Structure 1
Amino acid sequence: MNIRLSVVDQSPVHGSHSKQQAPHLTLELARLCDELGYHRYWVAEHHDSQHFANPCPEIMVGAVAAVTRRMRIGSGGVMLSHYSPYKVAECFRMLATLYPDRIDLGVGRAPGGTGLASRALAFPYSPHHGDLYPQQAQMLSGFLRDGLPDQNPFHSLRVMPDNEPTPELWMLGSSGGSAGLAGHLGYNLALARFIDPDNCKPDIFAEYDAQWREAGHEGKGNRMLAIACICADSDEEARLVAGTAVYRKLAAQSGLREDFLTPEQVRDRYQQLSKSQQAMFDHIEAGYTIGSPQRCMDEIRTLASAFDCQEVALVTVTWSQQARMDSYRLLAGML
Structure 2
Amino acid sequence: MNIKLSVVDQSPVHGSHSKIDAPRLTVELAKLCDELGYHRYWVAEHHDSIHFANPCPEILVATIASQTQRIRVGSGGVMLSHYSPLKVAECFKMMATLHPERIDLGVGRAPGGTGLTSHALAFPHEPHHGDLYAHQAQMLEGFVNGTLPADNPYSQINVLPDNSPKPELWMLGSSGGSAGLAGHLGYNIALARFIDPDNCHPSIFAAYTEEWKKAGHEGTPNKMLAIACICADTEEEAKLRAGTAVYRKLAAQMGMREDFLTPSEVQDRYNAMSKSDQAYYDHILKGYTVGTPDQCWQEIEALATSFGCDEISTVTVTHSHHDRMDSYRLLAKNL
In the superposition, the TM-score normalised over structure 1's length comes to 0.99
Q: Is the 8 A contact 2:244 2:319 kept in 1?
A: yes
Write the letter of the residue equivalent to 1:103: I
Q: Which residue of 1 aligns with 2:129?
A: 129
Q: Which residue of 1 aligns with 2:239?
A: 239
Query: Residues 92-143 of structure 1, C-alpha deviation per residue, up to 9 Å, x if partnerless?
Result: 0010011111000000000001111111001111111100000000000000
- Alpha-carbon distance in structure 2 between the residues aligned to 1:164 and 1:64: 22
Q: Which residue of 2 aligns with 1:296?
A: 296
Q: Is the 8 A contact 2:146 2:163 kept in 1?
A: no
Q: Which residue of 1 aligns with 2:192?
A: 192
Query: Residues 40-81 of structure 1, C-alpha deviation per residue, up to 9 Å, x if partnerless?
Result: 000000000000000000000001101110000000000000
Q: Which residue of 2 aligns with 1:258?
A: 258
- Alpha-carbon distance in structure 2 between the residues aligned to 1:130 and 1:279: 34
Q: Which residue of 2 aligns with 1:140?
A: 140
Write the letter of the residue equivalent to 2:148: L
Q: Is the 8 A contact 2:238 2:292 kept in 1?
A: yes
Q: What residue ranges of structure 1 are gaps of 5+ in the alignment?
A: none
- Alpha-carbon distance in structure 2 between the residues aligned to 1:79 and 1:297: 31
Matches within 5 A, 1:99-114: 99-114=99-114
Deviation >4 Å, runs of 4+: none
Q: By how many angstroms is 1:180 displaced? A: 0.4
Query: Residues 230-265 of structure 1, C-alpha deviation per residue, up to 9 Å, x if partnerless?
Result: 000000000000000000000111111100000000
Aligned residues: 335
In the superposition, the TM-score normalised over structure 2's length comes to 0.99
Q: Which residue of 1 aligns with 2:204?
A: 204
Q: Which residue of 2 aligns with 1:62?
A: 62
- Alpha-carbon distance in structure 1 between the residues aligned to 2:4 and 2:162: 33
Q: Which residue of 1 aligns with 2:31?
A: 31
Q: Which residue of 2 aligns with 1:269?
A: 269
Q: By how many angstroms is 1:146 displaced? A: 3.9
- Alpha-carbon distance in structure 2 between the residues aligned to 1:174 and 1:190: 8
Write the letter of the residue equivalent to 1:331: L
- Alpha-carbon distance in structure 2 between the residues aligned to 1:206 and 1:149: 29
- Alpha-carbon distance in structure 1 between the residues aligned to 2:27 and 2:58: 14
Secondary structure in structure 1 of the residue aligned to 2:140: helix
- Alpha-carbon distance in structure 2 between the residues aligned to 1:67 and 1:255: 38
Q: By how many angstroms is 1:273 displaced? A: 1.1
- Alpha-carbon distance in structure 2 between the residues aligned to 1:158 and 1:55: 27
Note the aligned Cα RMSD (angstroms): 0.6
- Alpha-carbon distance in structure 2 between the residues aligned to 1:164 and 1:323: 41
Q: Which residue of 2 aligns with 1:331?
A: 331
- Alpha-carbon distance in structure 1 between the residues aligned to 2:128 and 2:276: 36
Secondary structure in structure 2 of the residue aligned to 1:243: helix
Write the letter of the residue equivalent to 2:131: D
Q: By how many angstroms is 1:272 displaced? A: 1.0
Q: What residue ranges of structure 2 are gaps of 5+ in the alignment?
A: none
Q: Is the 8 A contact 2:46 2:113 kept in 1?
A: yes
Query: Residues 146-184 of structure 1, C-alpha deviation per residue, up to 9 Å, x if partnerless?
Result: 421111111111100111200000000100000000000
Secondary structure in structure 2 of the residue aligned to 1:60: helix
Secondary structure in structure 2 of the residue aligned to 1:198: helix
- Alpha-carbon distance in structure 2 between the residues aligned to 1:3 and 1:151: 43
- Alpha-carbon distance in structure 1 between the residues aligned to 2:316 and 2:299: 15
Q: By how many angstroms is 1:84 displaced? A: 0.3
- Alpha-carbon distance in structure 1 between the residues aligned to 2:127 and 2:195: 23
Matches within 5 A, 1:205-224: 205-224=205-224
Write the letter of the residue equivalent to 1:75: S
